[in-house]
Every structure is written in structure tokens, then in C-alpha cells.
Structure 1
Amino acid sequence: MVEKYTIRTDLAMEQKERFESDHVEVSGVVLEEEYDEEREIKITTVRIETENGAKMMGKPVGTYLTLEVPDMASADDGYHREISETLAGFLEKYVENEETKNRNADNEKEHSKEKGCSILTVGLGNREVTPDALGPYVVDQLNITRHMVQEYGRYGVEEKSRIVSAIVPGVMAQTGMETAEIVQGVVKETKPDMILVIDALAARSSKRLNRTIQISDAGIHPGAGVGNHRSVITKETMGIPVIAIGVPTVVDAATIVNDTMENFIAALETSENLKGVGVVLQGYNSAEKYELVKELIAPHLNGMFVTPKDIDETIRRISYTVSEALNLLFSGKAGESEKKEETA
């Protein structure tokens, strides 16, 4: 039953949780958790180290880091700044790691030291559909510098700054082209050192909607979370490192019903007359419960995805938070607040 159990999610940590709930050990997959008490952020790292682990998880080999921020949907500007700084700090580690690999792979170039790492930022999604507009909204607020460097040289930007270009390729229904095809063409012409992709994701748990950020060095599979598979954007297809940033903005309708059923089962335990029904349903594992729900709601609700009612305001707020993190990263100022605290 576990093998047939297909969970609609883009979050690696939720895939790992699914196996843990069914008491299935996945070899080649390592899970690490920590908690930032000061900023109230839970940090989960899932490392898929083997092809067997990748097959079981349904995700490529790589590192998937997830920040769970329960208050990210709130309108507290000061707190969102803290989230931006935290996100920028983790992104800096990813980018520095790739920069180091590039230098070690070809010591003769030394281009990263001379001119700064060149990053192509790709905002995936459909600007006309709010839950899918995160990528385009983030790109709208970035400090783009490639044209300034081309015009004035390195003197046109700050010394520590990275060279930034950006594109919003739209979706196939708008362009008639695969997103990966457009990005490949841009990469061929502009020759960046790496790609940074921003996209809206699908989650398994409604509590993670607009409250979670995932970073991955394994690239991205556009539309995979909602069952709409498109050509992948990865290091293998692009020829350069790809770092993906995503925020879950939609959840499968079957998931909401399944979560409701979990609460219903818990309520049955307190009822003397209906306790027997709860005992029967408790005997189902997570996979069996989910499949039962899918059968009960089919065909009208099966395949429907749901988003919160305040998604317009939330997407704009989160896009600003992510763009601020990226601007810190691009300016070379990521992690400076942590360094100040250490020296204080």
C-alpha cells in the first residue's frame, strides 16, 4: 500500500514524515532538525545521498533545507526582516559552496574572485494566478546589476556585490515553450555561473501553507506538486548549478479532508457511543486513510487544490521577504547581522 500511496507535495521533509508515520526506514536519506528559539524558526535538513533514497523519496539526490516559520503569514515587518536575514544566511552557504566548487574545478578561470559570481534569477509561475505568482513577484523587487557591470564594469556596483540578471519565463500556456527551454537559451547566451529559481510549491499539510520556505541544491521540477510535470531545471539539464527556493501556497483538497478525518477520529475517542468506529479507523495507516479519502471525494473534488482566502496580500508580503533575502545575498551582506552579534 505504501508504494501506491502518492502524496502531493513538493516538500522533501513531508515525504520523509510520510515514511516515518508508516514506520518505514528509507536508506540513503538523512534527517536533521534544529530550532532557532530566538526567531522561532524550525530548521529541517533532508539529505538524499543515494539513488535508492531518491527513488523512494521521489526526489533527486541533494540537500533540502526547510524553514518552518509559523508567524510568517503575519504582517509584522520587523519579524519578516529577521526571516529575510535568516534565509539570506542559509542561501549564502549554498552559493559559497557552489562558488568554491567552481574555483576548485577550474583554477585557471578564477572568475568568481575577479568579477563576482554571476547569478541568473528565474521567477517561475503565472503572474495572472495569485497562488502561482510568487516567482514573478520576487523578481519584480530584485536589485538587478548585470547591465550596470556591462556598461561601467565592476565600478558600477559595490565591491562585494554579485552580478545579477533575472527572467520571468511565464508558463507554457502563455509562451508555447517549456520553461526549461527558455532558461537554457538564456543560459547559453548570458553564461551565468549559477541559476537561482523561485517557485510556488504544493504542501501536504495545511499548517505549512505560506509558513514554510524550502531551499534545495537539486534544482526544481515545475508543477510536480500539483501533478503537472514539466521539463526539469537542474544542473544536469542546464550545465551549471541550480539552487531552488520555494514556498508552499496550495494544498491538495484530499489532504484537507484527510486532516479533518484525523480530527474526527480523535473526537470519536471521547464519545462512548461511537468509540468503536474510531477504533476501526485508527487501524488504518496514513496511506490507507489517504487513499480512502481520495475514493470518498472522487471524482468532483479529487485533484482540486486549495489556497487561503487572503492569498493576494500574503503572496505580496512573502515575495517581499524572499526578495529582501536575495538582495542581501546579492549585495554580499548576507550573514552580517549574525557576525555583528558574535562580535558584540
Structure 2
Amino acid sequence: MKNYSVRTDLALEEKERFASDNVEVQGVVLEEEYDEENEIRLTRVVIETENGAKIMGKPTGIYLTLESPDLALEVEENSRVLQERICDCIRELIFHKISCEDGKELKILFVGLGNRAVTPDALGPYVADHLEVNRHIVKEYGKYAMRTEQLIVLSAIVPGVMGQTGMETAEIVRGIVYETKPDLILAVDALAARNSRRLNRTIQIADTGIHPGSGVGNYRNAMTEESLGVPVIGIGVPTVVDAATIVNDTMENFITALEQSQALRSTGEILRSYSPAEKYEFVKELISPHLNGMFVTPKDVDEMVHQISHTIAASLNLLFSDINAGESE
């Protein structure tokens, strides 16, 4: 297990990795529910202790993961239930981090992370394009121009990536926080997954902030409450998977085929006796150095990312309209 480092941004997959090795992680709680009618699976991973955080490699906090085959469908075809579930998850974490009194403005800064010029990494900027920002209206005409007592004051920024700006994203956002003083930051970013079946059909919502580029090994300064001074809720969708994962999944299918062959069953049983960690490290050795740093994305990722951005933006706009209508808890 020492060298077993799966490239994934999903807390759910980190927990599954230990479960596959029959290792129980103290201080980490996993709960799961499945809506069979709408094909929506919600998994809640709560990292309660520092020891659990150290083992999982993720900060203490709540990680909500929604999985649905409808995530990348057009909004018109998309299940309204899915949008409402995403909305509910984000609402839960917002009010877990801050209190919202009646009549008080709740200032939210949306940060669309990623590179608009690289489609698998363009989710954050695309979501920002479809948000109904209103800070400029409130500043010009006052909150009563929005015809509501309870008000979300929403602003948005697409800071780009360091290769375009020469600055860390966290540095840019820290300056905006200093000037605009939001109560909360919502950050959307593309993620990396361990399991290829989760590509473009999974959304993770966490109250621990976000670490841009961590899933693909490009470690940038984290955007967290500690670094920015305000709570940060991270929203991400896996759009890429490590090449070693593809080969490893193929190897699993190959082992299954060997086990079904009378002549080669013993070979399959030998390979099956390896732990997931051993098989993954073996695959990495086989494909290095040429493919070891490669990440793979579906061929129709451009259409998928566009549709997912619409779905997330629709969920956020629904959430903000609900709060503005006085439906917050």
C-alpha cells in the first residue's frame, strides 16, 4: 500500500480503495442511498478525524457524491429531479458552513476554475457563462430592485490558469475576496477519476474547498477557508481518467476471461491473487515512461462538458431563486 497512489479527486474512490483491500479507516463514515426510479445514487463521505484525513489524503469535512447517467444530457431532457438533488446538496453544505438570517444579504462569489481553451478543463468557465449574476444590479439599484427581502448577491470570476495569467488562482481570488468581502465561495472545477465509468456522470460537492490540478499531479495553491478567509464549497465533475486506470480496467477484464478458460484458468487465478495495489503498480510499470503521465477523456467530451455546465448552472440558479423566494432553512 505504500506506493499505491491512485490519481483521483473523489473522496468516494479513496474510501473504495481501502474497502477493496478490506481496510477499515477509523474516523471516516460512508453512507449511501439510491433512488432507483431516477437512477440517482448519493454517497456521503464524512472525514471526522485528523487521522482519517491523513489516511484518506483529504481534509476533514463532508463530501457528497451524486452519480447519474443523466448528468450529461441536455437540460431540457435532463431529469428535473437531478437538478433538485444537486441543488439540495449544495444548499445543505452552504447552510452547514454559514447561517442565513431573514432579511440579510448573502454574498456569494462563484469561481469558475479551469482553462476555457482546453475542453476537459473548461467546466468552471462554462458554468460561469450561464449563471444569473446580480451583484452589479444590487450595487446600482439596491436589493429592493430584486423584489425580495432575502437576497443572494452573486458575483462570478473566471481567473484562468497560471500559464495564462502568471498568477496562482488562489492569489487572484484572495484579492477579489479582500475587495468584495463575500460570505462564501462556490468553486467549480473539472476533476480526475479513478473509475472510467464515473466520467461525466458524477458530481462531487465538498465543504473543504478545492485543490486545483491535484488529480492530474499539477498541485497549485489550495482554495480553502484557511487560505482565503471565507468558507469554500468545491463542486467538481471528473472529465479525465489516468491512462494507467484504463489499462488496469482492461487487465481486470483480461483476468476474468482467463478464469473462464479451462486451459488458462490457473494463470487467471494467479493474477487474481494480486491485491488491487499490486496490480495497479504493475500496470504503471508496464506503461511507463511513455503513457504513465497520460490522461484520457471521452471523444464527445466537448458536448458532455457543455451539457454538464448547463445542468450545474441550472441547479445553482434554482438554488439562488429558492433562497431569494424565502425557501432557505
Task: Specify the alignment match of 1:342 in structure 2.
Answer: none
Please, which moves more after superposition, 26-35 or 73-82? 73-82
Shift of 1:75: 4.3
Task: Specify the alignment match of 2:44 in structure 1.
Answer: 45
Cα distance in 2 for partners of 1:231, 1:295 equals 30
Number of aligned pairs? 327
Shift of 1:314: 0.5
Query: Which of 145, 151, 159 pairs up with 1:156?
Result: 145
Question: Residues 219 and 134 of structure 1: is their aligned pair in 2 closer, same or farther, counting only changes over 3 Å?
Answer: same
In the alignment, does 2:136 pair up with 1:147? Answer: yes
SS at match of 1:196: strand
TM-score, normalised to structure 1, is: 0.91
Cα distance in 1 for partners of 2:102, 2:225 equals 22
Task: Specify the alignment match of 1:20 in structure 2.
Answer: 19
Cα distance in 2 for partners of 1:296, 1:153 equals 62
SS at match of 2:220: coil
Is the contact between residue 114 and residue 190 of structure 2 (CA under 8 Å) also seen in structure 1? Answer: yes
Cα distance in 1 for partners of 2:147, 2:247 equals 52
Where do residues 49-60 of structure 1 align in structure 2 (5 Å cutoff)? Answer: 49-60=48-59
TM-score, normalised to structure 2, is: 0.96
Shift of 1:92: 1.3
Where do residues 233-312 of structure 1 align in structure 2 (5 Å cutoff)? Answer: 233-312=223-302
Shift of 1:156: 2.0
List per-residue Cα deviations over 1:227-274 (Å, max 9, x = no partner).
110000001011111101000000000000000000111111111111
Cα distance in 2 for partners of 1:158, 1:229 equals 43
Is the contact between residue 265 and residue 281 of structure 1 (CA under 8 Å) also seen in structure 2? Answer: yes
Please, which moves more after superposition, 89-98 or 130-139? 89-98
SS at match of 1:125: coil
List per-residue Cα deviations over 1:207-230 (Å, max 9, x = no partner).
000000000000011000001100
Cα distance in 2 for partners of 1:96, 1:240 equals 14
Shift of 1:114: 3.4
SS at match of 1:117: strand
Question: Residues 116 and 332 of structure 1: is their aligned pair in 2 closer, same or farther, counting only changes over 3 Å?
Answer: farther
Is the contact between residue 158 and residue 331 of structure 1 (CA under 8 Å) also seen in structure 2? Answer: no
Task: Specify the alignment match of 2:109 in structure 1.
Answer: 120
Task: Specify the alignment match of 1:108 in structure 2.
Answer: none
Question: Residues 298 and 334 of structure 1: is their aligned pair in 2 closer, same or farther, counting only changes over 3 Å?
Answer: farther
Task: Specify the alignment match of 2:70 in structure 1.
Answer: 71
Unaligned stretches of 5+ residues in structure 2: none
Give the partner amino acid of 2:135.
R
Shift of 1:331: 1.6
Question: Residues 334 and 271 of structure 1: is their aligned pair in 2 closer, same or farther, counting only changes over 3 Å?
Answer: farther
Give the partner amino acid of 1:296.
L
Cα distance in 1 for partners of 2:220, 2:309 equals 23
SS at match of 1:181: helix
Task: Specify the alignment match of 1:82 in structure 2.
Answer: 81
Cα distance in 1 for partners of 2:68, 2:42 equals 9
Task: Specify the alignment match of 2:310 in structure 1.
Answer: 320
Cα distance in 2 for partners of 1:14, 1:70 equals 18
Give the partner amino acid of 2:182.
P
Shift of 1:36: 1.6
List per-residue Cα deviations over 1:22-60 (Å, max 9, x = no partner).
111111100000012232100000000111111100100
Unaligned stretches of 5+ residues in structure 1: 104-111, 338-344
Cα distance in 2 for partners of 1:143, 1:95 equals 18
Query: Which of 207, 225, 231 pairs up with 1:217?
Result: 207
Question: Residues 334 and 153 of structure 1: is their aligned pair in 2 closer, same or farther, counting only changes over 3 Å?
Answer: closer
